[in-house]
Amino acid sequence: MTTGIYLDNNATTMVAPEIVEEMLPYFTEQFGNPSSLHQFGNKVGRVLKQARKQVQALLGAEHDSEIIFTSCGTESDSTAILSALKAQPDRKEIITTVVEHPAVLSLCEYLEKEGYTVHYLKVDKKGRLDMQEYISLLSDNVAIVSIMWANNESGTLFPIEEMAVLARSAGVMFHTDAVQAVGKIPMNLKDSGIDMLSLSGHKLHAPKGIGILYLRRGVRFRPLLRGGHQERGRRAGTENAASIVGLGKACEMAQEAMSYEKSTVKAMRDRLEHGILEAVSYCFVTGDPNNRLPNTCNIAFEYIEGEAILLLLNKMGIAASSGSACTSGSLEPSHVMRAMDIPFTAAHGSVRFSFSRYNTMEEVEKVIEAVPPIVTQLRKLSPYWDGNGPVEEPEKAFAPSYA
Amino acid sequence: MWDYSETVQEHFFNPRNAGAVDNANATGDVGSLSCGDALRLTLEVDLESETIINAGFQTFGCGSAIASSSALTEIIKGMTLDDALNVSNQDIAEYLDGLPPEKMHCSVMGREALQAAVADYRGEVWQDDHEEGALVCKCFAIDEVLIEETVRANGLKTVEDVSNYTKAGGGCSSCHEGIEEILARVMAESGETFDPNAVAGEVTKPSSGMTNIQRMKRIEELLDEIRPNLQRDHGDVELLEVDGKNIYVKMTGACSGCQMAATTLGGIQQHLAEGLGEFIQVLPAEALAQRSVPGA
């Protein structure tokens, strides 16, 4: 295992050793194609069935046939949204939020160019939705509502179950990108109004390259990939057998660890947050602290920039991520931070720490010690900072001409 | 994470001249809208000789912004103001052994801070002449504004045209959708419709009856049209010889030895062929040396 403190589990997670072990035979002796009639394929076919049941159990789905294996969360999102549009050609509107993951947002922006109308629900300063706005947009023109269950940057949870019920009563399909939420909060899809849900294996200690689309029985569907009969023709392409086995195991383990996530992982997160907020001035938690994933904390350090913080953390072996413009290839500041109206002198300094059950309290204490000197070091360089606090009226004292 | 050179990392982890200079008599405050970074440069300038005695920076920004600021202060210390003004953003990037394309604007910000500080010292008002748009082509670091202006100025109609004029889109193809959108938008300004199936560079000026002298002059003119694009990247091109359909050029400055030289030559060839209205071949200086001499 690599050394260092990994607090970037919302980006991806380590594949659990038990999962790797379960997967290994399916690269070698169990190499058969599950569609084949002979003994080589037959055995693989049986374990895929078992994996499907393991996923079904974690999601609380009614039937195992509601689970469709895909290649990733992005594929699941695209399949869900495009399916809804194809299956209901008369409906030309989509409802989503301004803080979605690019997997949904970029697709929606593209669909706008194709002539669809996309309603982007806004969020308040804590990243919460206005339910009245949502209700007012539901109509017969809407093909699909696609809302993330938990925000990847701030961890803020949306009231998905409630929103799904509202959509259903308006006769509108409901999809949720639950990539960050699955395995961290309990789910019971059979008793919900959710029609489709996306899940990504590598966020819960399964490998990269495997995802799930949950498709409620009876929901009208059009496949994205056509070809063979795999996944009952709903997603053609030979099954990624080893990864499916891994994801099944990961779901089983996540189910068992659910209470640990809620208690111990949350305790580590809270300790880190309190420790940093106590030791560092001019920083605050973004998102809705009272309603978020137990593993995520996003702290905005004012007057310094996130990439610089990450580089210095990385030097000390600590891995986190940032909503700053400069850490993304796009140069755009995080759309999530902007949507929450975080001032840019703070948004650029937002750092996300995201835990997994493989972190320890000892690591948390090390990070609490490491962060304050890094912030001090960078503030010394900042034109907004003077000695022990920001310069008076920072926005006026330093008002550069922008190019 | 970004692929930062050792030098960038070194300047980030151990920045030189951080903080404001005590006896500063020149200050330049600039920021880059494209990523929200901002920089204050303070200089202590010797009134007699106009030499920069001391330089300090305060930066709100990422690793490469801090490294670029640090490099800038190291480069200009001891220079006269006039010499310092000749420091280009390319010089800053070279001092740091290169910056990723997305981060070149950090070095631009450094150069602008310097111009602003010198203007402040001289009691002038610094005006920014540089407009930066969203990065479209990541292979060659070409932004939206440059593409738009080039499309407008040259009446370009295809992605291939844009690649020939600006290099944008000549690499991995990922920005072709974006370039097509720009083409559609700019062409719509003049009531034209973008046609994705149009053929690049339709020959509009047939070259019948040019004398050799006229033809060479025309070649020089056409090269002059491309020159600004090359100079923007601190390169240039020199006409060496015209031998029938073979036109020999020497790539100079940053273009010399650039791994994209072949692509650049291709772009020049395209432009010359269009302008002359005939098939020609643009060959590098090395090919001239190897040219078989008749009778030898």
- Per residue in B41-85, pLDDT (tens digit) is 999 999 999 999 999 999 998 899 999 999 999 999 999 999 999
Is the separation of the CB atoms in A152 and A297 below 8 Å? no
List of chain B residues whose C-beta atoms are within 8 Å of the C-beta of residue A324: 62
Is the separation of the CB atoms in A370 and A363 below 8 Å? no
Average pLDDT for B3-29: 94
The domains of chain A, with CATH numbers, are 17-254 (3.40.640.10), 257-392 (3.90.1150.10)
Indicate whether B150 belongs to any domain: yes
Domain end position, chosen among B93, B121, B149: B121
Q: At residue B207, does pLDDT exceed 50?
A: no
| CA Rg value for chain B | 22
Q: Which strands form B26-32's sheet, in the order they lie side by side?
A: A401-402, B26-32, B37-45, B52-60
Indicate whether B92 belongs to any domain: yes
Same domain (yes/no): B18, B95: yes
Is A384 in contact with B13 (Cβ distance < 8 A)? no
* Strand duo B37-45 + B52-60: pairing: antiparallel
A 10 A CB-CB count for A114 gives 8
Minimum Cα–Cα distance from B16: chain A residue: A381
pLDDT at A303: 92
Q: How far is CA A110 from CA A102, A339, B101, B196, in A?
A: 11, 20, 26, 18
Higher pLDDT, B203 or A117: A117
* Strand duo A350-354 + A296-301: pairing: antiparallel
The counts of H helices and E strands in chain A are 13, 16
Identify the helix (H) or strand (E) that includes residue B95.
helix B89-95
Task: Determine phi and psi for B280, rounding to 5 degrees.
Answer: -135, 165
Provide CB contacts within 8 A for A60, sequence distance 6+: A186, A187, A188, A189, A190, A191
pLDDT at B205: 43
Six-digit token pair at A349?
């300094």
Q: How far is CA B4 from CA A317, A374, B43, B100, B252, in A?
A: 17, 20, 28, 7, 27
Is the separation of the CB atoms in A175 and A214 below 8 Å? no
Q: Which residue reads 């169990």 in tokens?
A: A30
Is A305 in contact with B62 (Cβ distance < 8 A)? yes
Say what the ipTM of the complex is: 0.84
Indicate whether B45 belongs to any domain: yes
Average pLDDT for B175-202: 89
Cα B62 to Cα A308: distance, rounded to the nearest angstrom = 5
* Strand duo B142-143 + B135-137: pairing: antiparallel
Same domain (yes/no): B220, B139: no
Cα A96 to Cα B199: distance, rounded to the nearest angstrom = 40
Q: Which of A304, A344, A399 faces B36 most closely, judged by CB atoms? A: A344
Q: Which residue reads 């000789």 in tokens?
A: B49
Is the separation of the CB atoms in A79 and A235 below 8 Å? yes
pLDDT at A1: 45
- List beta partners, residue B27: B42
CATH number at residue B247: 3.30.300.130
Q: Is some CB atom of chain A closer than 8 A to the CB atom of B125? A: no
Angle at A288 between CA A282 and CA A294, to 5 degrees: 100
Q: Which residue reads 């996540």 in tokens?
A: A254
Domain end position, chosen among B65, B99, B121: B121
Total domains present in chain B: 3
Indicate whether B85 belongs to any domain: yes
Indicate whether B35 belongs to any domain: yes
* Strand duo A173-177 + A196-200: pairing: parallel
Catalytic residues of B: 35, 106
pLDDT in tens, B150-176: 899 888 999 998 988 888 898 889 999
| CA Rg value for chain A | 22
Provide CB contacts within 8 A for A50, sequence distance 6+: A248
List of chain B residues whose C-beta atoms are within 8 Å of the C-beta of residue A327: 62
Cα A377 to Cα A390: distance, rounded to the nearest angstrom = 14
Cα B96 to Cα B88: distance, rounded to the nearest angstrom = 13
Q: At residue B96, does pLDDT exceed 90?
A: yes
Is B62 in contact with A327 (Cβ distance < 8 A)? yes
DSSP B107-157: HHHHHHHHHHHHHHHTTPPP--------EEETTTTEEHHHHHHHHHHHT--
Closest CA to A68 of A41, A47, A48: A48
Same domain (yes/no): B114, B21: yes
pLDDT at B204: 43
Counting one residue from chain A and one from chain B, the pairs whose CB atoms sit within 8 A come to 105
Q: Which residue reads 């030289």 in tokens?
A: B261
Identify the helix (H) or strand (E) that includes residue A285.
strand A283-285
Cα A84 to Cα A91: distance, rounded to the nearest angstrom = 9
What is the domain extent for residue B179?
135-189
Average pLDDT for B89-116: 88
Q: Which of A325, A399, A401 faces B36 most closely, judged by CB atoms? A: A325
Same domain (yes/no): B55, B115: yes
Q: Which residue reads 């003119």 in tokens?
A: B221
Catalytic residues of A: 326
One-letter amino acid at B11 equals H
pLDDT at B201: 64
Q: Is some CB atom of chain A closer than 8 A to the CB atom of B29? A: yes
Hey, of A8, A301, A334, A381, which one would you mutate to test binding to chain B, going by the most B CBs within 10 A of its CB?
A: A381
3-state helix, strand, coil in chain B (%, to 5): 45, 20, 40
Identify the helix (H) or strand (E) that includes residue A367.
helix A361-381
Cα B254 to Cα A318: distance, rounded to the nearest angstrom = 39
In angstroms, how far is CA A104 from the centroid of its own chain? 11
* Strand duo A321-322 + A350-354: pairing: antiparallel
Provide CB contacts within 8 A for A100, sequence distance 6+: A108, A146, A147, A148, A177
Indicate whether B151 belongs to any domain: yes
Is B64 in contact with A329 (Cβ distance < 8 A)? no
Mark B193-204 as b/e (b = at least 16 C-beta within 10 Å): ebeeeeeebeee
Same domain (yes/no): B222, B178: no
Is A305 in contact with B32 (Cβ distance < 8 A)? no
Q: At residue B203, does pLDDT exceed 70?
A: no
pLDDT at A167: 98
Q: Which residue reads 């991520």 in tokens?
A: A321
Q: Is some CB atom of chain A closer than 8 A to the CB atom of B1? A: yes
Is B60 in contact with A329 (Cβ distance < 8 A)? no
Least confident of A65-74, B233-242, B278-287: B278-287
For residue B158, give the 3-state DSSP assignment: coil
Dihedral sign of CA atoms A262, A267, A270, A276 in order: negative
Minimum Cα–Cα distance from B70: chain A residue: A381
Is A344 in contact with B13 (Cβ distance < 8 A)? no
Is the separation of the CB atoms in A129 and A154 below 8 Å? no
User: Which of B99-108, B178-187, B207-216, B278-287 is most confident?
Assistant: B178-187
Give mean pLDDT in consecutive 10-residue pieces for chain A, a chain of 403 residues.
86 97 95 90 93 98 98 98 98 98 96 97 97 97 98 97 98 98 97 98 98 98 96 96 98 97 97 98 96 97 93 95 68 82 88 97 97 96 88 76 63
CATH number at residue B162: 1.10.10.1100
Q: Is the pTM of this model over 0.95?
A: no
